[in-house]
Amino acid sequence: MLSIFRKKNKDIKKSGNDNTIEAKEILDVKESSEEKEVETALFIHPNWNLPAEQQYVFRFLHNELNPLQPNQISIAGVDLANTPNGIEVTAFVRNSLQKKVSFGETTLLLLDEEQNLIARQSFNLSELGEVPAESSMPWVFRFPANTMKQEIFKESNWTLAFELAKPHSLDLHESWEKALSAEEKEGLKKLVASAGKPKDGEVNFMGIKISHNPGENLSVTLMIRNGTKQDMHLQQIPIAVKDASEEIIAEGAFNLEDFVVKANTSKPWTFIFPSSFVKKEEIDLSSWSIQIVNN
């Protein structure tokens, strides 16, 4: 039996909030030009063999839901229950499009009243099958205990929300934030946008500027690109630089202090090789590349 039905009928009421997004944010769909509000119809999954009494409960809860705007997907939180194995969340998955939709692997966030994270879990929503046009389907989402970030929280005004992919953005060190002009910052933002997002979980380095005069230091500016979902703390970066001849022209390990590249961002940084680290007198910088040396 679902946790929601372990309560007495008078105690069954909607305790969560609604999380509503534009369908195009998570689905590849063509939008409708309709402008009127959408009153969804209740749809029970064919594999759910619910007694008439339980169907009545979902029908009652569904009738309390607000209409949606066209072209929206929504998760309306209904019930949250702590279990020995984690948290069981009952919610309506709602579709205001004029056609059925289906989902794949989707990450959902369970948030408390203050929008702080309670739990985060990836779900294979293909298990829902197809959610019919302009309908609301009740479903149960189970967050295992190891996904929980809080153990004590208020069990009302919570939200079950889609985790939307944020655009990969520029992360400037405080010193750069102060030193660069608005025009220079805008140029770096455009560079980050044009380079695109790194692959999920990938960290890479992109060379963006190099300068050298014979007998002087070699200066290399790199864009450190963090494609992971965690902030990255760097303490040392071993770098080798190659010129157009593909020969290493400078090599060294740079120690960094309190250097963090935030999740899903790119941070520029300049590395200066002393002249004693430069291996060639005649350097061809018509093309160049960098290599992160694995010790």
76 in Cβ contact with 65 (< 8 Å): yes
pLDDT (0 to 100) of residue 11 = 62
CA dihedral 102, 105, 111, 116 (to 10 degrees): -140
Q: Which DSSP symbol is given to 157?
A: S
pLDDT (0 to 100) of residue 9 = 60
In degrees, to the nearest 5, what angle opens at C-alpha 188 toward C-alphas 187 and 190? 65
Domain layout of the chain by residue ranges: 3-162, 169-292
- The full DSSP string for 112-135 is -TTS-EEEEEEEEGGGG--B-TTE
pLDDT (0 to 100) of residue 30 = 77
Rounded CA separation 82/88 (Å): 6
pLDDT (0 to 100) of residue 1 = 54
- The pLDDT profile of the chain, 295 residues, written as one tens digit per residue, is 566 766 666 567 888 999 999 998 888 787 777 778 999 999 999 999 989 989 999 999 999 999 999 999 999 999 998 888 899 999 999 999 999 999 998 999 999 999 999 999 999 999 999 999 999 999 999 999 999 998 888 888 999 999 987 789 999 999 999 999 999 999 999 999 999 888 888 999 999 999 998 888 999 999 999 998 889 999 999 999 999 999 999 999 999 998 999 989 999 999 999 999 999 888 999 999 999 987 5
pLDDT (0 to 100) of residue 25 = 87
In degrees, to the nearest 5, what angle opens at C-alpha 72 toward C-alphas 69 and 73? 135
pTM of the model: 0.63
Closest CA to 65 of 135, 10, 168: 135
pLDDT (0 to 100) of residue 159 = 96
Alpha carbon of residue 245 to chain centroid: 40
Rounded CA separation 90/116 (Å): 19
pLDDT (0 to 100) of residue 10 = 59
pLDDT (0 to 100) of residue 6 = 67
pLDDT (0 to 100) of residue 167 = 84
Alpha carbon of residue 292 to chain centroid: 27
User: Per CATH, which fold does 169-292 belong to?
Assistant: Immunoglobulin-like (2.60.40)
- Using the CB atoms, write b or e for 86-121: b if 16+ within 10 Å: bbbbbbbbbbbbeeebebeeeebbbbbeeeeebbbb
Would strands 18-22 and 72-83 be described as parallel, antiparallel, or unpaired?
A: antiparallel
